[in-house]
Homo-oligomer: A and B are copies of this chain.
């Protein structure tokens, strides 16, 4: 491994001069000297040591992204956006799948701090855990002390996110679209109330109903986990309940996909017997049969924008909160309501199945 000193020797100049031509800095160096340095660097296959540089600058061009799970398409899409923007500026991105576990999250942030990462981007929604927040806050203060930026892509435990999502508006619009199709009894599969996003989306459901002048039937709101299992569970709960419904609005695509599957297992056709809508518009939403109607969030764009904010913050600019749009996209999983609503239609559906 050749160092700056090796290059300096070979080029017959001082290390300071090599530094001046090799680093991005714009510093006057004579053309002849510059060329000799470049030749020497190439000859020695010199690659600057970012650690040494980072030690001086007290940070390295690395940004960490805290996600729930990189395997969840919602997050991998965001991470990709961050990566695209970051790599343009010569930054590397570290992925941290915290599984929403405060301990893992803290340990990741501590590691990021010890590495003097230039920034942390929180892509997942916060969970309510005062204990977590105490230690996390300490690390964040520590990071800011050496000049790192912190950006939230979703509401943090306290305060406003640098980049929010119009979660409530998105769901409200979807509910209204369903009402326009003729639905009056729209159920809602909500995520856990400990998650900010889930709460916002539930609020959107309420608002959508209110906008349409439809009263809320608490029996039509089922709270489960924000994944596929939760969706299956929600479908069962609704089907085994008393309240009539002709559409199910889900707080996430994964939830909707789980519901779609369970509905299929129970012989219920979508959208003939019931309409179904998701949220997020992950790639998978366009691959199901029928394809899912959903609310689209520009996930990748959100990641990109997240890095842009990091870049700005690093440049000393103050950040003003912004919000990503959430627009509905209607595909084949939604349609007009059936003649008889579920779960009352269940016996007929079962009968329809058996002879086949």
A52 within 8 A of B: yes
Confirm or deny: A69 has a beta carbon within 8 angstroms of a beta carbon on chain B.
yes
Docked complex Cα distance between A264 and B290 (Å): 10
Complex: A145 Cα to B70 Cα, angstroms:
32
Q: Which residue of B lies closest to A80 (CB)?
A: B71
Q: A93 → chain B, closest Cβ, in Å?
A: 6
Contact assessment for A71 and B77 in the assembled complex, using a CB-CB cutoff below 8 Å: yes
The answer to whether the Cβ of A315 comes within 8 Å of any Cβ in the partner chain is: no
Q: How many chain A residues have a CB neighbour from B under 8 Å? A: 57
8 Å CB interface, A41-81 against B: 45, 47-52, 54-55, 58, 60, 62, 64, 69-71, 73, 76-77, 79-80
Task: Fill in one digit per residue for A88-101: 1 if any B CB lies within 8 Å of its CB, else 0.
Answer: 00101111110000
> Quick one: copies of this chain in the complex?
2
Residues of A106-151 at the interface with B, using a CB-CB cut-off of 8 Å, are 107-108, 110-116, 138-139, 142, 145-146
- Say yes or no: A287 contacts B289, CB within 8 Å: no
Verify A69–B73 contact, CB threshold 8 A.
no
Name 29 A/B residue pairs within 8 A (Cβ), A-sorted.
A47-B113, A47-B139, A49-B55, A49-B116, A50-B114, A50-B115, A50-B116, A51-B51, A51-B60, A51-B115, A51-B116, A52-B55, A55-B55, A64-B92, A70-B79, A70-B80, A70-B83, A71-B76, A71-B77, A71-B80, A80-B97, A90-B111, A92-B96, A92-B111, A92-B112, A92-B115, A94-B95, A261-B289, A288-B289
A-side interface mostly: helix
Any B CB within 8 A of the CB of A356: no
CB 8 Å contact bits of A203-215 with B (1 = contact, 0 = none) = 0000000000000
Given known contacts A55-B55, A287-B288, is B110 in contact with A47 (CB within 8 Å)?
yes
User: Do A51 and B47 have beta carbons less than 8 Å apart?
Assistant: no
